[in-house]
């Protein structure tokens, strides 16, 4: 079957009009419409899968002898939220790391200027927090310190999604509750055996 177009040129079958305007057999028009419907369904279905993968939540990674706890929208990303936590499995010690606010940077600068050690106060009180460091990373100034995987501050994070401390006069508070089951999993990976 051949179809002619208004230019008086006869086109081979693949190049004919796509609207199915009577030049194509009925079965071909129906097959094309069905194929479009299946493709649209697949695209919409795939979008739903990506939406689940795209949910920002606490996520755990535990390669080799380390564990990492981050907020991210995928397990396969390096785009982490702040704060993040890492540990050597079974050590009992967690390293907390995060971005610094303008207030926190100013406080750290004043401490350095006056040759004071940065003292950290956890909320709730947790004497296991120590070793405060400030450093520059790819995203700007960051803080890092250690605390117990089973201390009150980390227990609060595991239960409520709240992590807070005070460095000098600058309070730092983060709250994120989606995926708390992964905070528990991370805590178990870091916990010292027998505690």
pLDDT tens for 116-135 read 887 889 999 999 999 888 88
Cis amide linkage into residue 36, ω under 30° from 0: no
Domain boundary among 11, 32, 53: 53
Distance CA 192, CA 147 (A): 13
Q: DSSP alpha helices (H): ranges in the chain? A: 26-53, 102-113, 152-160, 180-190
Q: Is residue 195 part of a domain?
A: no
% of residues, the chain, pLDDT over 70: 73
Number of domains in the chain: 2
Residue with tokens 């999993």: 185
The residue among 21 and 40 whose pLDDT is bigger is 21
183 confidence band (pLDDT: 50, 70, 90): very high
CA angle 40, 41, 47 (to 5 degrees): 90
CA angle 174, 148, 117 (to 5 degrees): 75
- Are residues 67 and 20 part of one domain? no
pLDDT tens for 72-121 read 988 877 778 899 999 999 999 999 999 999 999 999 889 889 998 878 89
The parent domain of residue 23 ranges over 3-53
- Beta-bridge partner residues of 88: 66
Quick check: 168 and 110 in contact, CB under 8 A?
yes
């Amino acid at each position: 079957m051949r179809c002619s177009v208004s230019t008086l040129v006869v086109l081979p079958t693949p190049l004919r009009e796509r609207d199915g305007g009577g030049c194509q057999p009925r079965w071909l028009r129906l097959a094309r419409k069905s194929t479009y419907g299946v493709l649209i369904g697949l695209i919409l279905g795939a979008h739903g899968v990506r939406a689940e993968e795209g949910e920002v939540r606490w996520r755990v990674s535990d390669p080799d002898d380390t564990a990492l706890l981050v907020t991210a929208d995928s397990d396969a990303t390096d785009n982490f939220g702040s704060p993040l936590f890492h540990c050597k499995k079974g050590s009992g010690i967690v390293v907390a790391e995060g971005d610094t606010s303008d207030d926190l940077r100013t406080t750290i600068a004043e401490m350095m200027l006056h040759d004071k050690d940065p003292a950290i106060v956890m909320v709730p009180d947790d004497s296991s927090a120590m070793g405060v460091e400030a450093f520059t990373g790819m995203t700007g100034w960051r803080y890092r310190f250690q605390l117990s995987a089973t201390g009150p501050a980390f227990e609060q994070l595991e239960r409520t999604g709240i992590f807070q401390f005070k460095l000098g006069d600058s309070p730092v508070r983060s709250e994120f509750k989606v995926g708390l089951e992964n905070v528990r999993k991370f805590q178990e990976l870091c916990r010292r055996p027998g505690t």
